[in-house]
């Protein structure tokens, strides 16, 4: 396991070398994040985009259920790290490039991008609340 320091704290990624998994990352229902390919390796997750994308797979059937809270928290940390390395990299569902329902009928195409923005805004709001509390109580803050 390796820890990557990101703006969201420690991102724990379990590296799984020499696998046949086509995605670069897999996020399980409990939020465990496995890196199954190096970012420098070409993926095998969507025809025509493998050499210019980072594949992230979520355990679950999102035709039937929503991602777990733990998965979304792991996604926020992972995507923050990916954004740090590749600023502006978008997130698209599998179905944009293939005749599939991925990432699931229950999720709109921009589901993960919108959820990321919600997590980001919530984190910023919490920072501002802490700063305001410190100002009101006379404590210093960073």
Integer CA distances (angstroms), 113 to 10, 17, 59, 89, 134, in order: 21, 28, 18, 11, 32
Q: What is the pTM of this model?
A: 0.77
Burial class (CB in 10 A: 0-12, 13-18, 19+), 73: middle
Mind listing the pLDDT tens digit of every residue in the chain (142 residues)?
344 433 344 566 777 766 788 999 999 999 999 999 989 989 888 888 888 899 999 999 999 999 999 999 999 999 999 999 999 888 888 889 888 888 899 999 999 889 989 988 998 999 999 999 988 887 765 5
pLDDT of res. 13: 73
Walk across the sheet containing 9-15 and list its strands. Answer: 2-6, 9-15, 33-35, 25-27, 56-58
C-alpha to C-alpha distance for 103 and 60, rounded to whole angstroms: 10
């Amino acid at each position: 396991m390796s820890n990557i320091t990101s703006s969201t704290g420690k991102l724990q990624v379990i590296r799984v070398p020499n696998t046949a998994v086509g995605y670069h990352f897999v996020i399980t229902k409990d939020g465990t994040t496995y890196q199954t390919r190096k970012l420098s390796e070409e993926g095998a997750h969507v025809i025509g985009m493998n050499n210019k994308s980072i594949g992230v797979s979520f355990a679950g059937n999102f035709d039937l259920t929503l991602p777990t809270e733990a998965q979304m928290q792991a996604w926020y940390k992972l995507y923050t790290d990916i954004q740090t390395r590749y600023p502006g990299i978008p997130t698209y569902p599998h179905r944009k490039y293939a005749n599939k329902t991925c990432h699931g009928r229950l999720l709109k195409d921009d589901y993960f991008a919108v959820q990321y923005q919600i997590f980001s805004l919530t984190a910023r709001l919490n920072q501002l609340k802490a700063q305001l509390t410190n100002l009101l109580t006379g404590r210093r803050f960073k």
